[in-house]
Structure 1
Amino acid sequence: MSGYGKWVAGRKTKWITLLLWIVIVGALTLIWPSVNSQVANNASNLPDDLQSVQAGVVAEREFPGGSGVPALLVWHREGGLPEEDLVHIGAVYKTLAELPLPHQNFVPPLGQLPPQALAASLSEDRSTLVTPVLFDKKADSEQLGEAVNELKKRINTATGADPSAARVDGEELSLRVTGPVGISIDATGLFENADVSLLIATVLLVLVFLLLIYRSPILAIIPLVAVGFAYGVTSPVLGKMAEAGWITVDSQAISIMTVLLFGAGTDYCLFLISRFRQLLKVEDSKSQALLRSITDSSGAIAMSGFTVVLALFALLLAKFGAYHRFAIPFSVSILIMGIASLTLVPALLAIFGRASFFPFIPRTPHMEAERARAKGKPAPKPKTSHNKGIGGLVVSRPWMIVGVTVVVLGVLASFASGIRFTYDILSSFPKDMESRQGFDLIGKQFSPGELAPAKLMLDTEGKVNGEDLKVVLSGLSYVDTVSDPQAGAVNKNIMGFDIEFKNNPYSLEAMSHIPALLATGEQALVDVGVDSPAGSVWVSGQTATQYDNKEVGERDTDLIIPVVIGLITLLLLLYLRSVVATLYLVATVILSFFSALGLGWIIIHYGLGADAIQGAIPLYSFVFLVALGEDYNIFMISNIWKKRKHMPLKQAITEGVNETSSVITSAGLILAGTFAVLATLPIQVLVQFGIITAIGVLLDTFVVRPFLVPALTVLFGRLAFWPGKHQEVVQPQLERAE
């Protein structure tokens, strides 16, 4: 490793390393597109063989008039909609029929109806009307947003006002666009608006933390420069991969990737910087100190980065598109950040040398004495400390520490069993967001199911009476309304029904009715003698899609979590060559994860008042926490493993814990802080993810790493290295100082 250090941070090579990074970033930026220019927010999350996807194909073929993605226009005026408003609404739909919007798929002929006919569809108090506009399924959120903006301009022209800006509880005519189109536009807008604020907040937080911890402006800038260069390479690499069609990226993945780069990337930089600072206090030569710090820390940094990369690559096993799309951006960004930490950061430290830590420059006792002599002052006395710190406490009372930490973490973990999950995307939106306000109006004035009706389709082979089946469907306890039967456009034997549920169509309760609805349709075919009804019944719509999202997401969670545990276990086993140490390191991180989940639920549910957390959070949090949590264990354990070769094990644990405590505390605070930034965004799924992940990092930083892991190492003793051997070093008897 010393040879590698000379290559990247030697007297001349440090400039070559810096120049290479500048050239690479500049060249890639010029020839390849940025990842932000290749974002696709309408990518499918489900495989083609799932029921809801197949149902969507059937619906588009057989019922093209209603197969688009609906935007629901919720018109509302307190006290009732007068005839003048209905005339304006009819005029809007007349223009939509004559001059369709971009990507418009279908509009009902409301422009041909008199106001009295529209009035029949008003809510009971005559204050609200819901009208649909259907758009092409292939249109992405940006295209849909442009179309809806054009729609609002036409509405402003027709009404002579701006209903979208009017309050929903006022006496003016208000308009809110909701339904799948409105929800999609708002979801994308939240992430797009969050990108810049998230980046600024993350950079400022990391900068403030570094200044507070190291009190050096140069040192605070070095990790940020490294992260900036890493992002400068990551963005065009991912952009080129997306342009070539190898991967698909969305706004959510890019937002979280940015946070991950700053958090994890700063950690890797600090692992090297802290060792460099330690050695500058015992080495007169800054070059020798840097080479030794590279030799001492590069293995742990490489192992930590590789652990995270491999864990994130496990997301490629996911069938759910959102999980799968995270794998490559996250893995590539951490891989490039790891390379920057092992090449660019050493080069920058070599360039600045001791000045990196200005104004608190670390010097050897000899240098301090020379400096004092030059100023005519007495040489400072060497600092001695009899405080054994946390390491001494762990070594002296391991049983107590293991007992207390396991009980505390276990109690917190027990709360994880009470977590309730939701797959309702609307619950992630701020209450004043347009699509959520529109949905709330629909739920108040009509059936919530009108937000996103389901379509039941059956290949009846001409044997089913549509009116009889409508009666059966209307009698289902969870169904609010059923349309008249419709015949397929291509296959006349395919019969379709539009069904509105009584519940919020995005709720778990509504999703649970999808299997029952399919079973009802299959039973209807069996009753008339259809032999194999299983492939002849389909349910399309947002509720069916959400049901499949839930099922696929749970399948991915059940698969990926054991795979990540297995991969990290294998890596630790190869690195430490100890079965026992590997097992308790993995076990402590898993315990920490469930504790974070439990404490996160306490805060989110009892503190913030949320009834449930998003169903995707456990998998996201697990992958990040288990992978990143092992970083700190690897850094500390590798230090102990090296020291025990030339000192007694308990002394190695004491010094290993104490030497790594400051840097891991600093790194943990920065990493937790960057994830906590997510909790400041107006997106509940990111708020919940940020809270749980930040808590997990803090538990690893302040409980698992300094107390539980070293205490277990003390208790296991020589057994901690099994099947490897540990030769206890006998410390020579020192004479007592009087």
Structure 2
Amino acid sequence: MARRPIRWLVPALLVLVWLAVGGGFGPFAGKLTEVSTSDQAAFLPRSAESTRVLAVQERFRAGETQPLIVVWTAAGEKTTPGQAAAATRALASLRGTAGVIGTPTPALPSDDGQALSGVIQLAPDLGASLGGVLDRIGPAVTVEGLRAQLAGPAATRADLSDAFAGIDGLLLGVALITVLIILLAVYRSVLLPLVIITGAVFALGLACAVVYFLADHDIVRVDGQVQGILFILVIGAATDYALLLTARFREELAAAGDRFAAGRVALRRSFEPIAASAATVALGLLALLLSSLTNNRALGPVGAVGIVCAALSALTFLPAVLVLLGRAALWPAKPQPSGARGIWDRVATVVGRHPRRLWVATILPLIALAFLAPQLNARGVPLDETFVNDAPSVVAQATLSEHFPKGSGQPAVIVAPAGRAVAVTAAARAVQGVSGATPVTRSGRPGDAPKIVDGLVLVEATLSDVPDGDAAQETVKRLRAALDGEGGVMVGGYSAQRYDTTEAAEKDTLLIVPVVLVIILLILIVLLRSLTTPVILVVTVALNFLATLGVSALVFTHVFGFTGSDASVPLYGFVFLVALGVDYNIFLMSRVREETARHGAREGVLRGLVTTGGVITSAGVVLAATFAALAVIPLAFLVQTAFIVAFGVLLDTLVVRSLLVPALIRDLGPRAWWPSRLGRAEAPSEPSSARARVR
């Protein structure tokens, strides 16, 4: 009798601890923006030439600035000298105002005479106040008879800030509402979906608090992109883990009738697959630390923290609440015994009767789709496609490119020794794709004496092509080749940064992909005590990823209208999709191994499929829906990542895990578990129906 109060005490204490965590750390989900950065260098390779040029530029400016380009147009008419003078006065009036550094350039006319442009240098650390600064500049540069637009890096950064505005509320709200609707449909219970979502929110609060501390101490970097992925990752993973444990609790409660016994068995049986799943995803994310891109390296530890918090919540808070509530957690539904009826019973029957025919018929379309994967253009997204909706900075940049050289406002920046300034400028002008090159002067006026800092000069080369296109990147390559013999010369600027980032992302993919696959393979070997099955699982999830890329190549081009993808999209898609895809195979195969030990290899896979089919499919739908919520942020990178992960998870859940893997394991029989003892014995007999198998 003395033990009975203790049985209640432990889960009650766990719930109280998590209530304190939720109450104390919950607000940190809305505070991450305080430690977020929009530093341009965060997206650049550490040792790239363009990154070193950016450091030199900071010395020339006595600190980094962000250019804002004002472009005036006259609606098909030519601008007048009076309008040019008025535009110059408007620019000069901004000197000394909040956020403006130095003196803006004069307004210069375009060759066609229909536009004017001038450059304002803004402080780099404006943060959330950048939008307010632009709101003040807009009216200040108004010229009668002309339309003024704001382009350049500062305007683009402001639009990015607007895109991420309210991310902590909008994205989290959409994700939670989506998950709640799915859980209500799956469980047909009142309390259980609320319990699962509460655990996910507590995990997110804890993760955000840890990330906030790390970012505040400059251990990790956070931006809106990383923040959005963290939210989705924690909500999706915590819900998936909760679904697995809840299904086992419901099964054991129906069998034993005692909430404490059901809780113990559910936790014991679920701990290993949930821990293995969390370790797979966390270590896969940590592999991003090998990336040369700062932003990728930031996502690794941030995502790993989120996964650990999600698993911790699912393994402590959730079982404690389930034990305290007992059958009330499932009301008005009733606990279900082991096994399933309906669709998964029929799927298991098909797998059992024709395994070889089924896996061949399943794998061939996946291979065909995988051959389309190289069609995905991951050389970068043009500026006019960066935002899903037309952003003011994109419209302004299009106007600028219409009347000025297409590279205006985003020149290639050449660093050269002061003594070689004339030769370097001449050599740059002779390069195909360069429309002009001039040294940066002390006065800011072309033709004056070059500005020299530490024996170096800057030469700005205006490109003939749009700075975010492939042609501009080819011009950067030609510039670097032409200036290679000058000694001490480096080429940077926006186009060079895009080129270096793309090259670095491709190298990162070639390095990180095999590392992640090895990590996953080792974890599966430890979990399943086998070599054959882990290899099969890794090959199938890799095939699923390639097939998803093939579908994405078609959808991005012919449905969404994208001409390209960000260089990091395939890598992000791989890390999330492969690591998370293995999750469902871990959930399936850990149960299959358990059943195989009792009933033999061929029988065990069918029992495992029937008993886990519903919960794993529900988990896949939840995760796909939560990642799809990223599409509420109108940025091409997140929309593309959301599609790849959501579609890939559904393909994995409904096809690879439900049909391909069980059919392969069924066909192989005991050989699937080589060299463990499960591979050396088979059950003496098998029931004749799938329904009998789970009774």
Do both share a fold (TM > 0.5)?
yes
Q: C-alpha distance in 2, partners of 1:414/1:676?
A: 25
Instruction: Quote the residue 1:57 is aligned against.
Output: 55
What amino acid sits opposite 1:392 in the alignment?
T
Q: Would you say 1:133 and 2:88 are equivalent positions? A: no
Q: Would you say 1:416 and 2:370 are equivalent positions? A: no
Q: Would you say 1:210 and 2:187 are equivalent positions? A: no
What amino acid sits opposite 1:53 in the alignment?
T
Instruction: Quote the residue 1:511 is aligned against.
Output: 473
Instruction: Quote the residue 2:607 is aligned against.
Output: 655
How many equivalent residue pairs? 675
User: Structure 1 residues 174 and 706, CA, compared in 2 at 3 Å: closer, same or farther?
Assistant: same
Aligned pairs for 1:626-637 (under 5 A) are 626-637=578-589
Instruction: Quote the residue 2:138 is aligned against.
Output: 152
Q: Would you say 1:178 and 2:166 are equivalent positions? A: no
Q: Would you say 1:571 and 2:523 are equivalent positions? A: yes
My pick for the range that moved more, 327-336 or 505-514, is 505-514
Q: C-alpha distance in 2, partners of 1:513/1:13?
A: 67
Q: 1:706 aligns with which of 636, 649, 658?
A: 658
My pick for the range that moved more, 551-560 or 75-84, is 75-84
Q: C-alpha distance in 1, partners of 2:354/2:137?
A: 70
Three-state SS of the structure 2 residue aligned to 1:422 is coil
Q: 2:482 aligns with which of 520, 525, 536?
A: 520
Q: C-alpha distance in 1, partners of 2:139/2:168?
A: 27
Q: Is the 8 A contact 2:100 2:120 kept in 1?
A: no
User: Structure 1 residues 475 and 392, CA, compared in 2 at 3 Å: closer, same or farther?
Assistant: same
Kindly provide the CA deviation profile for residues 140-188 of structure 1, in whole angstroms up to 9, marking residues without a partner as x: 54343343233235336xx59xxxxxxxxxxx64322111111122122
Q: CA deviation at 1:731?
A: 4.0
What amino acid sits opposite 1:16 in the alignment?
L
User: Structure 1 residues 575 and 105, CA, compared in 2 at 3 Å: closer, same or farther?
Assistant: farther
Three-state SS of the structure 1 residue aligned to 2:413 is strand
Three-state SS of the structure 2 residue aligned to 1:78 is coil
Q: Is the 8 A contact 1:72 1:130 kept in 2?
A: yes
Three-state SS of the structure 1 residue aligned to 2:218 is coil
Kindly provide the CA deviation profile for residues 319-373 of structure 1, in whole angstroms up to 9, marking residues without a partner as x: 20110110121110110110100000011111221111211222789xxxxxxxx
Q: Would you say 1:537 and 2:499 are equivalent positions? A: no
Q: C-alpha distance in 2, partners of 1:336/1:651?
A: 36
Q: C-alpha distance in 1, partners of 2:4/2:129?
A: 50
Structure 2 stretches lacking a partner, 5+ long: 442-448
Instruction: Quote the residue 2:39 is aligned against.
Output: 42
Aligned pairs for 1:573-652 (under 5 A) are 573-652=525-604
With structure 1 as the length reference, what TM-score do the two structures score?
0.86
Aligned pairs for 1:205-354 (under 5 A) are 205-354=178-327
Q: Would you say 1:77 and 2:77 are equivalent positions? A: no
Q: CA deviation at 1:298?
A: 1.9
Structure number with greater Rg is 1
Q: C-alpha distance in 2, partners of 1:716/1:37?
A: 55
Q: C-alpha distance in 1, partners of 2:619/2:452?
A: 62
What amino acid sits opposite 2:371 in the alignment?
S
Q: Is the 8 A contact 1:8 1:17 kept in 2?
A: no
Three-state SS of the structure 2 residue aligned to 1:611 is coil
Q: Is the 8 A contact 2:439 2:457 kept in 1?
A: no
Q: Is the 8 A contact 1:73 1:130 kept in 2?
A: yes
What amino acid sits opposite 1:73 in the alignment?
V
Identical-residue share of aligned pairs (%): 28
Q: Is the 8 A contact 1:421 1:614 kept in 2?
A: yes
User: Structure 1 residues 140 and 629, CA, compared in 2 at 3 Å: closer, same or farther?
Assistant: farther
Q: Would you say 1:394 and 2:351 are equivalent positions? A: yes
Q: C-alpha distance in 2, partners of 1:698/1:594?
A: 14
Instruction: Quote the residue 1:458 is aligned against.
Output: 416
My pick for the range that moved more, 494-503 or 65-74, is 65-74
My pick for the range that moved more, 674-683 or 263-272, is 674-683
User: Structure 1 residues 142 and 428, CA, compared in 2 at 3 Å: closer, same or farther?
Assistant: same
With structure 2 as the length reference, what TM-score do the two structures score?
0.91
Kindly provide the CA deviation profile for residues 479-511 of structure 1, in whole angstroms up to 9, marking residues without a partner as x: 122226866544696454321111111222212
What amino acid sits opposite 1:689 in the alignment?
T
User: Structure 1 residues 715 and 518, CA, compared in 2 at 3 Å: closer, same or farther?
Assistant: same
Q: Is the 8 A contact 1:28 1:237 kept in 2?
A: no
Q: CA deviation at 1:212?
A: 1.2
RMSD: 2.9
Three-state SS of the structure 1 residue aligned to 2:99 is coil
Three-state SS of the structure 1 residue aligned to 2:460 is strand
What amino acid sits opposite 2:435 in the alignment?
D
User: Structure 1 residues 388 and 148, CA, compared in 2 at 3 Å: closer, same or farther?
Assistant: closer
Instruction: Quote the residue 2:463 is aligned against.
Output: 501
Q: CA deviation at 1:578?
A: 0.8
Q: C-alpha distance in 2, partners of 1:84/1:7?
A: 91
Instruction: Quote the residue 1:730 is aligned against.
Output: 684
Q: Is the 8 A contact 1:579 1:721 kept in 2?
A: yes
Q: C-alpha distance in 2, partners of 1:456/1:733?
A: 76
Kindly provide the CA deviation profile for residues 15-53 of structure 1, in whole angstroms up to 9, marking residues without a partner as x: 111011122344456999943321112262335543112
Instruction: Quote the residue 2:445 is aligned against.
Output: none
Q: CA deviation at 1:257?
A: 1.0
User: Structure 1 residues 105 and 341, CA, compared in 2 at 3 Å: closer, same or farther?
Assistant: farther
Structure 1 stretches lacking a partner, 5+ long: 1-5, 111-117, 161-171, 366-381, 526-532
Q: CA deviation at 1:318?
A: 1.4
Kindly provide the CA deviation profile for residues 299-329 of structure 1, in whole angstroms up to 9, marking residues without a partner as x: 1111111111111111112120110110121
